[in-house]
Amino acid sequence: MNDARVRFVAVLAVATLVLSGCAAPVADPTPNEWRWPEDPQSDRIGWEAGYWYNESVAVNQSDGLNASEREAFVARTAARVERIRGLEFEESVEVDVMSRAEYRDQSSGDGGAGPGWNDQVWEALLLIGEDRTVEAAFDDLYGDAVLGYYSPSEERIVVVSDAENPVIDRATLSHELMHALQYQRFDIGGVPQTLDGRLAEDGLVEGDARYVEQLYEERCGDEWDCVRRPETNPNRENFDAGVYLTVYAPYSDGPTFVHSLRERGGWTAVNEAYARPPASTEQLVHPEAYPEDRPRTVAVPNRSNGAWSRFDRHPVGNTVGEAPIFVMLYRHGAIPSSALERNAEPYSRYNYSSNASDGWAGDTVVPYRSDDGEFGYVWAIEWETAADAEEFVSAYETALREGLNATRTAPNTYVVADGPYADAFRVTRNGTRVTVVNAPTTDRLDGVHAPGR
């Protein structure tokens, strides 16, 4: 993507007739010389671009939204987002339509990441194998299902559709408008460089937007009349459960994280978190760990021989974090399938906590490249206790054996004979640290990372 923080919306091209009208306001929110529902003399929370948050609008989406319908729908939704979140938009948000061909042109490429290093990070998680690249996996995941996004650099919501007048889903519209409000009101800095850091910070950004979206939905019916949501039939042809569950973690556990902050100190506590976003997915999965329990720095000494060289975009390696570790173990049958749904919090769709992934304290994946073009990696993981580390080792070895049909060829050593993860793996534990070394064959494991003294 051209934007580092593109937010995807599900804008659904479904022919449906939608008429929405609100009851008359109950009371004037702020006594003044004007009378509701007349427009106020100055902008205020709950009123945007000529529309109150509970003002009547008529929207017919049977043939899509024309310009005037879209203007009314967007303005009233923005006013409702303000009303829920208690923050005022500083300026209106543009909503444009982009053809799918234009979208594909602008989103092609890997954003400068280059091949190799990121592929090794996802391969270490046993989620994207050697039969495809990370870029290809994400192209497959989104594909034609990506129907819109919010662009911070252009300060607009873009609907991706070949229809001149596409329909818009109210929930995703409120979600994307919340993103616009975030970028207008908070200093959202650069994208963190590690997978865990990105998912963690997205847990606040996406979590806040998803939480507002859900609060919006709770008000529909009893408190507000709302535009009916179009039916959706998502394309699951190229659906990859492991990749999806990883990138969905901020959307699932982020709302519960934000709700936890709001329970502690109201919206003020949520606002203040933007100056100190969560540092790890551990803090999303376990909100009580925020903000004090920060991840440990895990250093990986270079013990490769002359045939192998360490390479990475980041000198310190890439942290994958607790939530992706849960997904890895779940995806390969090392934890029960029921774990995904068990004990999910009210605002979370999935559960990302298990005995085998809880207790994570920090990790680093370091990719290696050989002179003859082969790849390998070293993945070092720190756990809170030796028991936590041992529990992970047991689950990880189960994932190798049961999920990948690996054979144990020597103490701590496994070989996957064929398939996209066909490699050798050495799994060792030293106290609270677990180290996984990967190489094409067992005789090359020491070349990537010789055992420590």
> According to the per-residue pLDDT averaged within each range, which of 9-23, 172-186, 188-202 is highest?
172-186
Confidence at residue 162, expressed as pLDDT on a 0 to 100 scale: 81
1 pLDDT above the threshold of 60: no
Confidence at residue 161, expressed as pLDDT on a 0 to 100 scale: 80
| Pairing of the two strands 424-430 and 413-415 | antiparallel
Q: Which amino acid is at 262?
A: R
How does 323-336 read in b/e, with b if 16+ C-beta sit within 10 Å? bbbbbbbbbbebbe
Question: What SS3 class is residue 281?
Answer: helix
Confidence at residue 14, expressed as pLDDT on a 0 to 100 scale: 23
Residue with the larger pLDDT of the pair 453 and 34 = 453
15 pLDDT above the threshold of 50: no
Pick the range with the lowest mean pLDDT from 1-10, 203-212, 232-241, 377-386.
Answer: 1-10
9 pLDDT above the threshold of 60: no
CA gap 373, 377 in Å, rounded: 13
Three state DSSP letters for 28-46: CCCCCCCCCCCCCCCCECC
- Which two three-digit tokens encode residue 43? 């902008």
Q: Which backbone phi and psi does 357 adopt, to 5 degrees?
A: -110, -20
Global confidence as pTM: 0.89
Confidence at residue 438, expressed as pLDDT on a 0 to 100 scale: 98
Q: What is the DSSP letter of 297?
A: P
pLDDT band for 102, please (50, 70, 90 cuts). confident
- What domains are there in the chain, each with its CATH number? 7-230 (no CATH), 295-448 (3.40.1000)
Averaged pLDDT for residues 107-118: 58
Pick the range with the lowest mean pLDDT from 197-211, 235-249, 325-339.
Answer: 235-249
Confidence at residue 111, expressed as pLDDT on a 0 to 100 scale: 39
- In this structure, are residues 437 and 445 in contact, taking their beta carbons and an 8 Å threshold? yes
Confidence at residue 97, expressed as pLDDT on a 0 to 100 scale: 85
pLDDT band for 16, please (50, 70, 90 cuts). very low
CA gap 282, 194 in Å, rounded: 14
118 pLDDT above the threshold of 50: yes
- 290-317 confidence digits (pLDDT tens): 999 999 999 999 999 999 999 987 777 8
Averaged pLDDT for residues 7-15: 27
pLDDT band for 232, please (50, 70, 90 cuts). low
Confidence at residue 285, expressed as pLDDT on a 0 to 100 scale: 97
Confidence at residue 27, expressed as pLDDT on a 0 to 100 scale: 38
10 pLDDT above the threshold of 60: no
- 122-159 confidence digits (pLDDT tens): 999 999 999 999 988 888 887 666 767 899 999 999 88
- 257-301 confidence digits (pLDDT tens): 999 999 999 999 999 999 999 999 999 999 999 999 999 999 999
pLDDT > 70 fraction of the chain, expressed in percent and rounded: 87
Confidence at residue 453, expressed as pLDDT on a 0 to 100 scale: 52
Question: What SS3 class is residue 369?
Answer: strand
Question: What SS3 class is residue 360?
Answer: strand
pLDDT band for 62, please (50, 70, 90 cuts). confident
- 408-425 confidence digits (pLDDT tens): 999 999 999 999 999 999
Residue with the larger pLDDT of the pair 401 and 144 = 401
Q: Average per-residue pLDDT in the chain?
A: 87
- 338-377 confidence digits (pLDDT tens): 999 877 678 999 999 999 999 999 999 999 999 999 999 9
Chain centre to alpha carbon of residue 328: 16
Cβ neighbours for 400, distance < 8 A, ≥ 6 positions apart: 332, 406, 414, 416, 425, 427
Confidence at residue 108, expressed as pLDDT on a 0 to 100 scale: 61
- 38-56 confidence digits (pLDDT tens): 778 778 999 999 999 988 8
